[in-house]
Structure 1
Amino acid sequence: MAKDSAPDTGDGSAGGSSKGGSSAGRDSGDGGVGKDAAPVVRKPSWRRLGPGIVVAATGVGAGDLVSTLLAGSKFGYTLLWAAVIGCIVKIALAEAVGRWHLATGRTLFDGWRTLGPWTTVYFAIYVVIWGFVYGATAMSSSGLPLQALFPDGPGLKFWGVATGLLGLAFVWFNRYAVVEKIMMVFVGVMFVVVVYVAIRATPKVDDALAGLLPTLPDGSLLYTLGLVGGVGGTITMAAYGYWINAKGWTDSGWMRMMRFDNRIAYITTGIFVVAMLIVGAELLHAGQVALAEGDKGLVDLTEILEDRYGGFTAKLFLIGFFAASFSSLVGVWHGVSLMFADFMDRLRAGGTAGVKVLARGEQERSPAFRGYLLWLTFPPMMLLWLDQPFGLVIAYGVLGAFFMPFLAVTLMWLLNTERTPREFRSGPLSNTMLGLSGGLFVVLCVEQVRELPW
């Protein structure tokens, strides 16, 4: 383990050192024993859970709810196995992101830069276009359940703008610790509501168990790939390492806790996705009910729930729908802004001697962080008034389809070379999972691009 020759930079960079875990002494609040000592190993603890819940809640939005419902409505329980595999894939990817941050003391973008300038160019283009389109999508998704809850109130544009401004204000004035607490609340609401609706739908246990056997019905390939690769998997997975650093986990002593946090988060997500699949299978597939594409499909489901179970269950589902959508908005507003701040910080520092990157906590108050917050909020509001921002959506779809393969491949590259201390490099299991993930996401990428209306 290399010695830590620099003070705490907060983002895990150890003053730009490229090797070795940071010492426990860097985190003064966690019982460090000096900067030359090996990091203190922290045992897994339920009360320390947090970053995994944040990344999982951010990754599961309204679009994921709809795609899971559609899979259940078209194929019943047949694709349940794909949801389980998807959960395992996300655990492997998030673990790799967290392991890089903790084992090397460097951020993910710092690692990407070592792979060549092409990563900087790619990320710069991607994060600008993605943020512009995602901002409008997140505001629209968050406003839709509010419009359904208050049908006599203002229209969707008002609610979309209101949720965007609320997310902006919340992230602007609060740091990670508060963001984590509110995300835990959102996850609790999402989980309780969706599981409650699934139980009310009276799942058929025998059919569900049969769905764990991998099969591919005709026409199910895209839905299968979507369940495995899409639910809970976006650029926010790359933000996981930044959130664990913001939590104060900055050295390899936190490795066991990080893995525990990650597994609990994605197991929770897996239960959530299975519950949505049950709802689709029982309420839609069994009754041959068609569901609209896009977020409005969730409003359609609300009407079905009201007819079958009454207004209380329908309104409860809308609250869960809002929790899923708004948690994604808040998570992206914070996590991707944190990544952008690190991106700009590294560009500013470059290889210049004596130029230090910002300490943990300072990035959340930096001009780059707040500038990207504004970019996510105000320019995308224009798209709320456009019926079909066709060209931009196509560009976003093409570029966005390439991010998850980029993440999986670059993680394999970083974690199997001298950039990572030997004891923390990927073993056969991790490499197998990352390799399968990379192959899966390449197939998803090709299929997504083929489906675009060129």
Structure 2
Amino acid sequence: MTVDKGVEAGLQHQVTEERPRWRVVGPGLVVAATGIGAGDLVATLVAGSRFGYALLWAAVLGVVVKIALVEGAGRWSLATGRTIFEGWRQVGRWAVVYFGVYVVVWGLSYGAAAMSSTGLALNALLPGLDVRWWAMITGLVGAALVWFGRYGFFEKLMAVLVGVMFVTVVGSAVATLPNLGEVLGGLVPRIPDGAAVYTLGLAGGVGGTITLAAYCYWLAEKGWTTPRWMRVMRIDNAAAYVVSGIFVIAMLVVGAELLYSSGVALADGEGGLVELAGVLTDRYGAFLGHLFLVGFLASSFSSVLGVWHGVSLMFADFVASVRDVPAGDPRRGAGGRYYKAYVLWLTFPPMLLLLLDRPVALVVAYGVLGAFFMPFLAVTLLVLLNSRTVPRRWRNRAWLNVVLGLVAAMFVVLGATELVKAAAPLLGG
């Protein structure tokens, strides 16, 4: 039997075109791991400890929301060949100014918070050194690992941390022997008395930061830069957020089974995770307690690495665009001058905040700007994905506009709530 050479060539070409579509472990895993930090685990844990499984549906909704936002950012990048910051420039000068102020103030405060979280986990595992010194060591190690901006190494390291998180966090949930009937019952939407803020937080806040927008830059670093990669981007994004959803559900299970059922209350903030490790130790032995602390460390350090790499790429694009640096100039890319400048900004000035215990005014400014970044992202994506810049095939469908509109409204409400909380110290609250 003979095969026509033209047909054979066509089949070979199809195989070549299809093969890369299924290399799906990539930027989605990175953005999901970066977004799920210790603070997000605490928020979910506290929700489970106070309301049992009643808000499980909100956690699942939160995963769907993040899939929609990240898919929109990725679709913009692949369909237009432009970065998300170039899109914001198209939206208007106000968006450029907002992002410029945000990325500077946010980076200073977030650097201190991320290093402190990892330092707390290290101090719990190795208590011979104070938290702030462990935090500073964390910042230096994180900066060194991403200094040259090598994406392949960075992605592999993040995959290892995700693996550690999966084994430890999900393992802790399995050890509590969850009631599957109650778990399924938690998928029915309902809001218990006093749970409105927690519901919004789970649906909109968990795993949602500026790093969602960094997805565009990680796509480019991976080499996924044209509409040809649209399908694999969507698979990559959905699969990664399903994994992050498993983390969130696992923490809610731990809160519901270990704390809600026994009436145990934990401290606010990342310190609650250290206390939880103590509860696990008392209930199941030292091995599980230490194993959970390793997961806490992996979750915190993955956020450090993700922000140090991804947001530095965003900052480099911001500065290069404002200064009209031509495309292809080394200053625009990972490892370039602007990229390294932001890595240093995330690392060294926050160390002063660790020593000064973070001034209230800076925390308030961080809270004000941060509270409205997610609605900013949702609204600007709504504008960009309906613009003529995007080829008609890749523009929003009507139902997507409705979804993004609802997401934007939800984040505005959540942002207003966070704004009130951030301003409370200045108002004497």
Q: Same fold (TM over 0.5)?
A: yes
Whether 1:103 and 2:79 are equivalent positions in the alignment is yes
Aligned with residue 344 of structure 1, among 319, 344, 357 = 319
Counterpart of 2:296 in structure 1 is 321
Aligned with residue 293 of structure 1, among 240, 264, 268 = 268
Are the equivalent residues in 1 in contact too, given 2:331–2:337 (CA < 8 A)?
Answer: no
Are the equivalent residues in 2 in contact too, given 1:66–1:298 (CA < 8 A)?
Answer: yes
- What RMSD, in angstroms, separates the aligned Cα atoms of the two structures? 1.7
* Aligned residue identity for 2:342: Y
Are the equivalent residues in 2 in contact too, given 1:41–1:253 (CA < 8 A)?
Answer: no
C-alpha displacement of 1:365: 2.1
C-alpha displacement of 1:433: 2.1
Unmatched 5+ stretches in structure 1: 1-30, 34-38, 350-354
Counterpart CA distance in 2 for 1:374 and 1:358 is 23
Counterpart of 1:414 in structure 2 is 384
Distance 1:400 1:362, change over 3 A: closer
Counterpart CA distance in 2 for 1:277 and 1:58 is 19
Counterpart of 1:265 in structure 2 is 240
Whether 1:188 and 2:158 are equivalent positions in the alignment is no
Counterpart CA distance in 2 for 1:297 and 1:32 is 55
Counterpart CA distance in 2 for 1:342 and 1:358 is 11
Counterpart CA distance in 2 for 1:340 and 1:310 is 45
Whether 1:228 and 2:198 are equivalent positions in the alignment is no
C-alpha displacement of 1:435: 1.3
Counterpart CA distance in 1 for 2:399 and 2:141 is 42
Aligned with residue 327 of structure 2, among 357, 379, 383 = 357
Counterpart CA distance in 1 for 2:47 and 2:192 is 11
Whether 1:60 and 2:30 are equivalent positions in the alignment is no
Alignment length (residue pairs): 412
* Aligned residue identity for 2:270: D
Counterpart of 2:97 in structure 1 is 121
* Aligned residue identity for 1:410: T
Counterpart CA distance in 2 for 1:218 and 1:97 is 36
Counterpart CA distance in 2 for 1:360 and 1:193 is 40
SS at match of 1:114: helix
Counterpart of 2:420 in structure 1 is 450
Are the equivalent residues in 2 in contact too, given 1:149–1:318 (CA < 8 A)?
Answer: yes
Are the equivalent residues in 2 in contact too, given 1:42–1:256 (CA < 8 A)?
Answer: no
SS at match of 2:264: coil
Counterpart CA distance in 2 for 1:287 and 1:361 is 56
* Aligned residue identity for 1:364: A
Counterpart of 1:50 in structure 2 is 26
Counterpart CA distance in 2 for 1:400 and 1:213 is 31
Whether 1:381 and 2:381 are equivalent positions in the alignment is no
Distance 1:124 1:388, change over 3 A: closer
Are the equivalent residues in 1 in contact too, given 2:45–2:254 (CA < 8 A)?
Answer: yes
C-alpha displacement of 1:364: 1.1
Counterpart CA distance in 1 for 2:135 and 2:110 is 12
Are the equivalent residues in 2 in contact too, given 1:58–1:327 (CA < 8 A)?
Answer: yes
* Aligned residue identity for 1:61: G
Counterpart CA distance in 1 for 2:167 and 2:399 is 33
C-alpha displacement of 1:42: 6.3
Are the equivalent residues in 2 in contact too, given 1:73–1:285 (CA < 8 A)?
Answer: yes
Aligned with residue 391 of structure 1, among 342, 345, 361 = 361
Aligned with residue 185 of structure 2, among 206, 210, 220 = 210
Counterpart CA distance in 2 for 1:366 and 1:385 is 30
C-alpha displacement of 1:311: 0.6
C-alpha displacement of 1:130: 0.1
Counterpart of 2:61 in structure 1 is 85
* Aligned residue identity for 2:219: I
Distance 1:104 1:41, change over 3 A: farther
Whether 1:331 and 2:306 are equivalent positions in the alignment is yes
More helix by share: 2
Percent of paired sites with the same residue: 58
Unmatched 5+ stretches in structure 2: 1-11
The 10-residue stretch of structure 1 (333-342 or 362-371) with the greater mean CA deviation from structure 2: 362-371
SS at match of 1:239: helix
Deviations 1:102-138 (A, max 9, x none): 0001111001101111111111100000000000000
Whether 1:145 and 2:109 are equivalent positions in the alignment is no
Counterpart CA distance in 2 for 1:420 and 1:360 is 27
Deviations 1:277-321 (A, max 9, x none): 000001110010001000100000011010001110011001000
Counterpart of 2:3 in structure 1 is none
Counterpart CA distance in 2 for 1:171 and 1:147 is 23
Counterpart CA distance in 2 for 1:361 and 1:310 is 52
* Aligned residue identity for 1:121: V
Are the equivalent residues in 1 in contact too, given 2:146–2:308 (CA < 8 A)?
Answer: yes
Counterpart of 1:132 in structure 2 is 108
Distance 1:346 1:91, change over 3 A: same
Are the equivalent residues in 1 in contact too, given 2:58–2:202 (CA < 8 A)?
Answer: yes
Deviations 1:63-111 (A, max 9, x none): 0010000000000000000001000000000000000000001111001
Counterpart CA distance in 2 for 1:74 and 1:341 is 42
C-alpha displacement of 1:432: 2.3
TM, length-normalised to structure 2: 0.93
Counterpart CA distance in 1 for 2:332 and 2:418 is 38
SS at match of 1:365: coil
SS at match of 1:370: helix
Counterpart of 1:429 in structure 2 is 399
Matches within 5 A, 1:269-284: 269-284=244-259
Counterpart CA distance in 1 for 2:411 and 2:77 is 23
